[in-house]
Chain A
Amino acid sequence: MKVNPESDQLSSVPTHSDVNVGTTGNEKFRQVLGGAVNLAGQLAGTAAGGSTMGLGPMAGNLASSLLTGTSDTGTVDPMQLLQIQEQLQQQSQVFNTMSKISKTEHETRMAAVRNMKE
C-alpha cells in the first residue's frame, strides 16, 4: 500500500501549538499572590508569638483559598476579605478571653494549694 504523505487525513489531530497550557497568566498571578499572603501570614503569626496561636498562617490560607476562588478578572471582593478579617479578630478575641480565664483559674488553684495548712 502506498502512503501519500501529502494527504490531509491527519489534519484533525491537534498540533503542538493547539495544546492547552493549563495555567493562564491570571491563575499564576493568583497562585503567587496567594503564596505571598500565606507567607506574610506565617511571618505575622511568628512575630505575634503565642497570643495569636497561629492565626497568621490561618489568615494566609484563607486568603489564598479566597484568591483561588476569584473570577477570571482576578479581582478580590474587599468586603469578603473584611468579613474574614472580622471573623478572625472575633475568634482571636474569644480565644484570648478563654485563655486568660484558664490562666487565672490555674493561678487561683495553685494559690489555694500554697495556702494549705495542716
Chain B
Amino acid sequence: MASKFSALLGAKDGTVLLQYLAEAAYLWSYLGKPDEAKAIFEGLQLLAPADPVAPLGLAEIYLSEGKFREADKAAELATKTENADRRTLAFAYKLRGRSLIQLNKAKDAEKFWQRAVEIDKDGPEGKSATVLLAMAREMGVLPPGA
C-alpha cells in the first residue's frame, strides 16, 4: 500500500513515504501538536505494522497527555514488533518504565529500565537508562540500588 502512495509521489519505494510520514509525525509532536502527530502515527501503524516507530510515537504522545495505561500498552506493542533493533527496543523499555512509574508501579518500572540497560549495555539508550535509574534512586522514586 505504501509503495502505491510512494509511486504517486514519484518515489522509488514505499520506505521513503513511511520515513517521510514518521518524520512529519515527530515534527508535529515537537511543535506541540499531539493530535496531528497521533493521526499520522495511527496511519503509519496501518501501513507498517511490523515497525516500532508508530507505537513508540503513540506511546510518547500518550505519556505527554497523561494517558499512562495507553502509553504502556503502546510501548509494549513496540517491544513486540519484528523490526525493532537493540537501541529501539531499549528505548521502548525505557518508555514502559516511565509509564509504570506514573502508574505507581516503581518495581516494574525499575525492571524495565534494567532490561533497557541490559539490552543496549554499551549503546546510548542503555547508558541513558542507567542515568535514569540513578536519578530515580537519588530522588527516592526507586529504592537505593545495590
A residues whose Cβ falls under 8 Å from a Cβ of B:
97, 100-101, 104-105, 107-118
Contacts and interface: CB of A to CB of B under 8 A. Distances in A.
Contacts of A113: 19, 22-23, 26, 53
A109 B87 CA distance: 10
Interface residues of B, number: 29
Given A108-B124, A113-B19, A118-B3, 20 more contacts: A101-B128, A101-B131, A104-B124, A104-B125, A104-B127, A105-B128, A108-B91, A109-B53, A109-B57, A111-B85, A112-B53, A112-B84, A112-B85, A112-B91, A113-B26, A114-B19, A115-B88, A116-B48, A118-B13, A118-B18
- Interface majority SS on B: helix, strand, loop or mixed? helix
9 contacts: A104-B125, A107-B124, A109-B91, A111-B87, A112-B56, A113-B26, A113-B53, A115-B83, A115-B88
Contacts of A110: 23
B34 interface: no
Nearest to B124: A104
Interface residues of A, dominant DSSP = helix
